[in-house]
Structure 1
Amino acid sequence: MNLMDLKLAFRNIQKNKTESGISILGLGIGLGCIMILGVLFIHEHSFDKFIPKHQSAYRLLDETDPRLPYPMAPALKNNIPEIADFFRFYQTSNVKIKTVDNRIIAEDFFAFADANMYSRMGIGFRYGVPAVSNAEIALSEDMAEKYFGSRNALGSTLLLKLQDEFRTLTVCGVYNNFPGNSTLRPEFVGNIDLSEEVFGLSQRMFGDYRSNQDDYRNWDNRSFYVYLFLQPNADPEVLGAKIKGHMVSLDTEKYKDKTYRLQPVADIYLESAGLSGNLYSRAGNANELKYYMAIAFAILLIAITNYVFLTKAKILNRLTEMGAKKALGASNATIQKQVLLESNLVSFLSLLPAAIVVIVGIPFVNSTLGKTVGSEVFSLWQTWAVLAVLLFLTGTISGISIGSSVSRTSVVVLLKGKLNRSPGKYSLSHSFLSFHFAIFIILIVSVFTFKKQINYGLTNFKAIDPTNILICELNTPELQKQIRMLQNELDKNPNVVKTAGSSFIPPFDSFLPVNLRTEDESVRFDGLIMGQGMIDLLGMEWIDGECFGEFQADNRTNIIINESAALQYKLKAGDLLNGFTIRGIVKDFSAHSIHSLIQPMVILQQHPEKMSLLAIKTNGLHDAEIIGETEHLIRHISPESLVSIRYLTDQINQFYTGEQNQAKLITGFSFLAIVLAVMGLFGIVLITISKRTKEIGIRKVNGARATEVIEMLNRDFLKWVFVALVLATPVAWYAMHLWLENFAYKTELSWWIFVLAGLLALGIALLTVSWQSWRTATRNPVEALRYE
């Protein structure tokens, strides 16, 4: 390649500005999509691989649960020589911090760990050291900047509410932010023994039913992650058996049936879907990632075939030029080299729109899917290797496929300005067009189905009415004790229909197992803990019996069950179940999201001064006034509490955040797919019209109207859109049928979704073809007859 060849390539690109611009833009969109999701794929598979010697680092699991007792790790280290080191990790949320101006801020990523966690994770300190006493706290860079600005935070203090009162902790160090591809993401880290101050805090919502085992050092309290670092050549499977042997030696009956296994840290992110206690670490979805990558590759294929079609359209306008070159002595290799150079140049220039797509797309993917793709992924050699291979293959394969057909064509044919193409080759181009629109139809069907199912989940609640219900958190003992006063004041408001307290207000996402035990038997149910009046406030329907009356401490054996429990155990109001008296039976209701089936349920009555939530049913007319009044009452009762009031419907919306985000992402893909499909259609139209220019001129000379020419060209193209609909419908139906299987209660796959997707594709194709056909049909027929 010499400078003259490069200049000629640039000149040819400039000569055909429209086709070249569309080629560069289309290829850039396709490359940008595959780059975004390629980077996402690399990022998702890079989690925790930054840990020094991560191949010997493992998280210990008790069968399917990573939560283990506090004393277990040091006991294993002292008795099993294959374990070189360990650290423990525990995290809590909603920790209140009081600022210097007496504002209360809740932080969710508050952790406790052994001091060697940082060195084992490869996390350095900007200054200071880890917390080694219960009076110290280490902060991330972000939190140090948030609370102390640009000044050195070492030795400064923070007021944190770990139990029921604020406690002063001294900042002992500021560590570097954990990487975006870390499964652990603590923003505050106290010494592991400081966890005693908050252990069991999350159980406060259970009130009278709170666990009595709050000692964090108790072997029966399983709350800590245990990370093990093994000696060289240690076998994780053998070590799992040794750990079980050690535990059995402590208590044969308790541990004889348990299984312990070591999970490689590099597997935690994508291979923790079946774990029951993966609460403190990020988790990905390997199947979802494959789905996105398949879409990205389909869009890239559309972009590449579009580029080939558009380049062929340009080449058809340059056949005489290439024939003249061959007549003047240019070899086939020279022609091939020139086309290949132009192809790679277009591929290189497409990096500009691709970069724009990446710059806009990565924040969109991060915010939509909750990902953490950051600049660190561009420091990986795999990222640049994928980019280089994509560019080379796109430019080279496209150039070879186009240039080989032209370079092998005889000089006489090229000088005539028209290639003799077999009908089968044009059919191949049209079949790719069908593929383009089939991808678009599948994506559009997915978007409509996602939205239809999400709307179904938000509006189809069984035997419960979540509208106009405000939920106020009672997050201090003062608020819990004064709940009656809060209710009395709010009930005076004419816009308040009813108030009631509770520990859990359905629908909520997690499950609360309730075991009804007697000396001989234990039966597990899905559970709720509610206060007096909550069942009626939620609009549940009674089948038999009555609601709870005034709470009496000596009458905690009264329960309410749902219809499923009554049918399964053949019970009625007044019957006994494992020593518990059934006070009433309610119709089955949606206690959780529609991902799960309604289970046999038991409702327990909560102590009126130990409820963590207050529900306020309004008439929906003056909710802002009611919220303001509630905030005022809360601050009067407990000035240091953090006011948290939300709608129950907002709580329900959070159930379907994942599906809503998937719908947003696929909508974005659908938009790009149709843009690329239109570009591909444009290219095929150019090729077809250039092939039939003389035919169109003859038809017009013989009296054909422009509308007849447009109809003829549209008919040839629109049939391929119908083919796309036929191909896409079974694929889209099968894919959406599989997706809907994730829900216990689901909407139907409506026929109109497929019809609407087909009509959208048809309309877009009609507009694209008609515009280009109209330009050709309205040209002077003399120009067309000069074509050959």
Structure 2
Amino acid sequence: MKLPISLKLSIRSILKNKVQSVISILGLGIGLGCVFLLLLLYIHENSFDKFIPQKENLYRIIRGEDCNTTYPLGSTIQAEIPQVNSFFRIHQVSQVELKNANNVLLKDDNFACADSSIYKNLGIKIRNGSVPRSVNEICISSSIADKYFAKEDPINQLLKIKIGEQFCDLSVCGVYKDFPAYSSLHPNFIGHIHLMDKFSSHKRKKWGHYTSSKNNFRDWNHFDLHTYVRLTSKAKPAMVEQSLQAYKNRTSDEKIMVLDYHLQPVSDIYLHSNNLNRNFYTRKGNPSELIYFLIISSLILIIAIVNYVFLTKAKIEIRIKDLGVQKAMGASSMHIFKQVLLESNLLAIISLIPASLIVILGIPYLKETLNRTLSIDVFTLWQSYIALILVVLITGSFAGLLIGFRVSKISSVLLIKGKLVKSIKRKQWGNSFLIVHFTIFVLLIVGVISIKKQLDFAQTGSKNIDTQNIIVCELNSEELSQQFQMIDSEIRKIPGVTKVAGSSFIPPFKNFLPVNMACGDDQVRFDGLIMGKGMIDLLGLKLIDGEGLGDFHDNRNEMVFNESAAKEHNLKVGSIFNGAFLVRGIVKDFNAHSFHEKIRPMVILQQDPKKLYLLAVKTTENSHVSVQKKLNQFFKKIAPDKIVKTYSLQDQINQFYHKEEQQVKIISAFSLLAIVLSIMGLLGMVLNAIFLKRKEIGIRKINGAKTHEIIKMLNRDFLKWVAIAFIIACPIAYYVIDKWLENFAYKTELSWWVFVLAGLIAMCIALLTVSVQSWRAATRNPVESLRYE
């Protein structure tokens, strides 16, 4: 098939100017790849729960700002509120222990107890079998069936799952299709709703001595599950919410009675639940983070488009006389305009090749870095293709329209004489290009360094608490807790162990533990900790007065307070607080949580050593890894039928700042791409400048100009505009990073050296890129340059 003449000319032009074309294609491809990646992420994040049949009628019930509701709520409102068509309740644990067919002890994720109506309401298909009808049956996902039963039929097979303190044989009654990657709920196992009572023992164990004896999860006072309701098609959510308020007084807790019920649309759960408490069961997105990443991708796209526009214009400048000849031979202005537009779009389409590579490599990177479910399956969504086509056409057409319109208006005489440069003010274009390029580059570099600096400060700068070289072991059964004294004694014998102590909560930890200290009608709430003897010393908490926790006595109310609590309530060692609680000691304020939170008045309670949930082991700096290995061997020996989790306290701290670490990784990746784009854009600009000054360079060389003088001449113009870009970027970067640091209660300073370092990096990159090409031009034989004229 014969190609149209315009297409032939475009292809010939691309091949003739290989270096400029390759720079244009790679530069635009990298930029488009970044934009495609984050647009795909945006589309994916906004597609959650859209697969649910009649999703507009399905809601989750929220109490105040808490996701947890009571067991009887769902069945009661279905019976009493006509607009409620159906409901389901779900209670989920993050991990369960189970034994496979070979009796090997394993851990798996996301075990849920739910009503059988969950499948119909969420549109989850049963592949074979049926839903659980009793507490002895369980339904599993297809992936779990393949994992544990391979090619066997899992129906009626037994799974040994640890529920509470013992393993239970649960019969597999059904297999359902895996929940989609864009589902907020995603359990791998679904048991009968009444199984949830047995799982509550894990929660009771953490509280140990302070566990309430009342534990009837089926009453109106226990908020342990999430409730979803499907309304009738004609129901008005506002009226249903109004009806729900009648159930507030079913609980006996006066503080909970005042909390209003409201309905959260199921399609809002993923992106709009970060402000909700106890949202444990669902995947969570972050809409502000999405906007943040879209801004970064837009900055990268601006660099790529500016690159592309400038390089396209540079290519036109090189073939300006060819266009003039075409126009002199009868080509119309519209023909020239179409030619430039076609060539621009053709280059944009070819740039999809490197863009595809960025997307293929970037999807797994984003998935792992951001802990998202993004995969290549996002291309099954029609929005992905619309976004791809629009971005390519807009980019290619923007450059073509901008340049083609101006070139087509110039007369053939001026084109043949090479007057395009003056007509479209080349120098202003180039200067603007450099300023935009390096302003964005400096912004990204300052962002990476500042965020990393704050993270290092938050992870290692905890105030008045020593978190280094501490290993935490979970005593996840009553049997292990009862053996605490023996375990303590044996672990102390391990070489490298310096201190051992038990606790229920080991700071710094994520959640707040509210402790109400009441005497009669007078009640005061503190931020709380529950520790064993020796834990205050192990963590290096500094006593201002008094002493730490001693031997446990069931009938004594002896407490240790922090200095904030002492100042607020005028506490003295030896005094009785609130008529019932002896102040045993006062410790200096310390960071019990992340640096996002201010230090609050705190009380430290003592735990019964026979009911401790956690064991902390302090090691020497050089023995940390070997001690953890020996701890794992020790627990495997004394508890072969249990999985005792051991981890570094520093790992627990690092989890506080997982979001910020994600941001550093993403910004670092985009900064690297920005460096590549800056180099490529600057390289194209330098090549164009050298081409236009080839006669001047040749004449200067003939007249005795030295190589370093020509290099200096070419470098001076470029570096001046990089310096201006740095001046523009600094106040913008300062404002943005200062706003970001407001997320932290304790933060590092915005140091001047961060900005200087970013500026030096930008200057060095520009200097190196320009100097290499300048040196090549300055050392070329001047006769070769003058031949072109």
TM-score if structure 2 supplies the norm length?
0.97
Aligned partner of residue 127 in structure 1, secondary structure = strand
How far did 1:317 drift? Answer: 2.1
Aligned partner of residue 183 in structure 1, secondary structure = coil
- Tell which deviates more after alignment, 324-333 or 2-11: 2-11
**Corresponding position: 1:576 with 2:580:** no
> Which amino acid in 2 is paired with 1:539?
G
Which residue number corresponds to residue 466 of structure 2? 465
Which residue number corresponds to residue 727 of structure 2? 726
Q: Superposition pairs for residues 463-542 of structure 1, below 5 Å?
A: 463-542=464-543
How far did 1:628 drift? Answer: 4.2
Distance in 1 between residues matched to 2:722 and 2:622, nearest whole Å: 50
Aligned partner of residue 782 in structure 1, secondary structure = helix
How far did 1:519 drift? Answer: 0.9
Which residue number corresponds to residue 782 of structure 1? 783
Which residue number corresponds to residue 315 of structure 1? 316
Which residue number corresponds to residue 737 of structure 1? 738
Aligned partner of residue 762 in structure 1, secondary structure = helix
> Which amino acid in 1 is paired with 2:558?
N
> Which amino acid in 2 is paired with 1:390?
V
Distance in 2 between residues matched to 1:151 and 1:114, nearest whole Å: 27
Q: Say if 1:87 and 1:228, in contact at 8 Å, map to a contact too.
A: yes
Going from structure 1 to structure 2, the CA distance change for 1:73 and 1:586 (only over 3 Å counts) comes to: same
Q: Superposition pairs for residues 401-480 of structure 1, below 5 Å?
A: 401-422=402-423, 424-480=425-481
> Which amino acid in 2 is paired with 1:561?
F
Which residue number corresponds to residue 232 of structure 1? 233
Distance in 1 between residues matched to 2:253 and 2:535, nearest whole Å: 45
**1:177-216 CA distance string (max 9 Å, x none):** 1111111111111111121221242231110111333222
Going from structure 1 to structure 2, the CA distance change for 1:495 and 1:2 (only over 3 Å counts) comes to: closer
Which residue number corresponds to residue 373 of structure 1? 374
Which residue number corresponds to residue 80 of structure 1? 81
**1:258-293 CA distance string (max 9 Å, x none):** 311111111111111221121111111111111110
Which residue number corresponds to residue 695 of structure 1? 696
Distance in 2 between residues matched to 1:493 and 1:549, nearest whole Å: 24
Which residue number corresponds to residue 92 of structure 2? 91
Distance in 1 between residues matched to 2:100 and 2:495, nearest whole Å: 37
Q: Say if 2:220 and 2:251, in contact at 8 Å, map to a contact too.
A: no
Q: Say if 1:476 and 1:638, in contact at 8 Å, map to a contact too.
A: no
Distance in 2 between residues matched to 1:661 and 1:297, nearest whole Å: 19
Which residue number corresponds to residue 672 of structure 1? 673
Which residue number corresponds to residue 550 of structure 1? 551
Distance in 2 between residues matched to 1:250 and 1:532, nearest whole Å: 37
Q: Superposition pairs for residues 20-31 of structure 1, below 5 Å?
A: 20-31=21-32
Going from structure 1 to structure 2, the CA distance change for 1:558 and 1:664 (only over 3 Å counts) comes to: same
Which residue number corresponds to residue 712 of structure 1? 713
> Which amino acid in 2 is paired with 1:568?
E
Aligned partner of residue 757 in structure 1, secondary structure = helix
How far did 1:765 drift? Answer: 0.5
Which residue number corresponds to residue 14 of structure 1? 15
Q: Say if 2:164 and 2:201, in contact at 8 Å, map to a contact too.
A: no
- Tell which deviates more after alignment, 2-11 or 215-224: 2-11
Distance in 1 between residues matched to 2:453 and 2:348, nearest whole Å: 40
Q: Say if 1:316 and 1:690, in contact at 8 Å, map to a contact too.
A: no
Q: Say if 2:310 and 2:433, in contact at 8 Å, map to a contact too.
A: no
**1:26-82 CA distance string (max 9 Å, x none):** 111111111110011111111111111111111111111111000001100111111
**1:113-154 CA distance string (max 9 Å, x none):** 111111211111222222221111111122112211233212
Q: Identity of aligned pairs, percent? A: 49
Aligned partner of residue 108 in structure 1, secondary structure = strand
Going from structure 1 to structure 2, the CA distance change for 1:90 and 1:12 (only over 3 Å counts) comes to: same
How far did 1:313 drift? Answer: 1.9
Which residue number corresponds to residue 630 of structure 1? 631
How far did 1:538 drift? Answer: 1.1
Q: Say if 2:35 and 2:297, in contact at 8 Å, map to a contact too.
A: yes
Paired residues in the alignment total: 787
> Which amino acid in 2 is paired with 1:638?
A
Going from structure 1 to structure 2, the CA distance change for 1:118 and 1:783 (only over 3 Å counts) comes to: same
Distance in 1 between residues matched to 2:207 and 2:251, nearest whole Å: 31
Q: Say if 1:478 and 1:638, in contact at 8 Å, map to a contact too.
A: no
Going from structure 1 to structure 2, the CA distance change for 1:504 and 1:240 (only over 3 Å counts) comes to: same
Q: Superposition pairs for residues 643-682 of structure 1, below 5 Å?
A: 643-682=644-683
**1:282-332 CA distance string (max 9 Å, x none):** 111111111110111111111111111112222222122222222221112
Distance in 2 between residues matched to 1:508 and 1:498, nearest whole Å: 20
Distance in 2 between residues matched to 1:698 and 1:550, nearest whole Å: 93
Q: Structure 1 stretches of 5 or more lacking a match?
A: none
> Which amino acid in 1 is paired with 2:560?
I
Which residue number corresponds to residue 303 of structure 1? 304
Going from structure 1 to structure 2, the CA distance change for 1:257 and 1:669 (only over 3 Å counts) comes to: same
Going from structure 1 to structure 2, the CA distance change for 1:517 and 1:15 (only over 3 Å counts) comes to: same
> Which amino acid in 2 is paired with 1:691?
L
How far did 1:428 drift? Answer: 3.1
Aligned partner of residue 422 in structure 2, secondary structure = coil
Distance in 1 between residues matched to 2:377 and 2:394, nearest whole Å: 26
How far did 1:771 drift? Answer: 1.6
TM-score if structure 1 supplies the norm length?
0.97
> Which amino acid in 1 is paired with 2:358?
V
Distance in 1 between residues matched to 2:94 and 2:446, nearest whole Å: 39
How far did 1:423 drift? Answer: 7.8
Q: Say if 1:721 and 1:765, in contact at 8 Å, map to a contact too.
A: yes
Aligned partner of residue 512 in structure 2, secondary structure = coil
> Which amino acid in 2 is paired with 1:325?
Q
Going from structure 1 to structure 2, the CA distance change for 1:246 and 1:608 (only over 3 Å counts) comes to: closer
Q: Say if 1:313 and 1:686, in contact at 8 Å, map to a contact too.
A: no
Distance in 2 between residues matched to 1:10 and 1:213, nearest whole Å: 80
Distance in 1 between residues matched to 2:691 and 2:630, nearest whole Å: 74
Q: Superposition pairs for residues 165-176 of structure 1, below 5 Å?
A: 165-176=166-177
Distance in 2 between residues matched to 1:629 and 1:296, nearest whole Å: 47
Distance in 1 between residues matched to 2:253 and 2:594, nearest whole Å: 40
Distance in 1 between residues matched to 2:251 and 2:783, nearest whole Å: 99
Aligned partner of residue 68 in structure 1, secondary structure = coil
Distance in 2 between residues matched to 1:694 and 1:566, nearest whole Å: 81
- Tell which deviates more after alignment, 772-781 or 356-365: 772-781
Going from structure 1 to structure 2, the CA distance change for 1:273 and 1:162 (only over 3 Å counts) comes to: same
Q: Say if 1:47 and 1:183, in contact at 8 Å, map to a contact too.
A: yes
Q: Superposition pairs for residues 42-81 of structure 1, below 5 Å?
A: 42-81=43-82
Q: Superposition pairs for residues 42-191 of structure 1, below 5 Å?
A: 42-191=43-192
> Which amino acid in 2 is paired with 1:160?
I
How far did 1:425 drift? Answer: 4.5
Q: Say if 2:138 and 2:174, in contact at 8 Å, map to a contact too.
A: yes
**Corresponding position: 1:612 with 2:613:** yes
Distance in 1 between residues matched to 2:569 and 2:254, nearest whole Å: 31
**1:501-556 CA distance string (max 9 Å, x none):** 1111111111111110111211111111101111111111111111222111112x
Q: Say if 1:244 and 1:255, in contact at 8 Å, map to a contact too.
A: no
Aligned partner of residue 522 in structure 1, secondary structure = strand
Aligned partner of residue 595 in structure 1, secondary structure = coil
- Tell which deviates more after alignment, 446-455 or 240-249: 240-249
> Which amino acid in 2 is paired with 1:497?
T
How far did 1:389 drift? Answer: 0.8
Q: Say if 1:478 and 1:637, in contact at 8 Å, map to a contact too.
A: no
Over the aligned positions, Cα root-mean-square deviation in angstroms equals 1.8
Distance in 1 between residues matched to 2:444 and 2:755, nearest whole Å: 11
Q: Say if 1:309 and 1:687, in contact at 8 Å, map to a contact too.
A: no
Q: Say if 1:318 and 1:417, in contact at 8 Å, map to a contact too.
A: no
Q: Say if 1:96 and 1:104, in contact at 8 Å, map to a contact too.
A: yes
> Which amino acid in 1 is paired with 2:31?
G
How far did 1:416 drift? Answer: 2.9
Distance in 1 between residues matched to 2:460 and 2:272, nearest whole Å: 33
- Tell which deviates more after alignment, 245-254 or 168-177: 245-254
**Corresponding position: 1:399 with 2:426:** no
Distance in 2 between residues matched to 1:132 and 1:432, nearest whole Å: 68
Distance in 2 between residues matched to 1:246 and 1:601, nearest whole Å: 34
Distance in 1 between residues matched to 2:709 and 2:205, nearest whole Å: 77
Distance in 1 between residues matched to 2:688 and 2:330, nearest whole Å: 28
> Which amino acid in 2 is paired with 1:213?
K
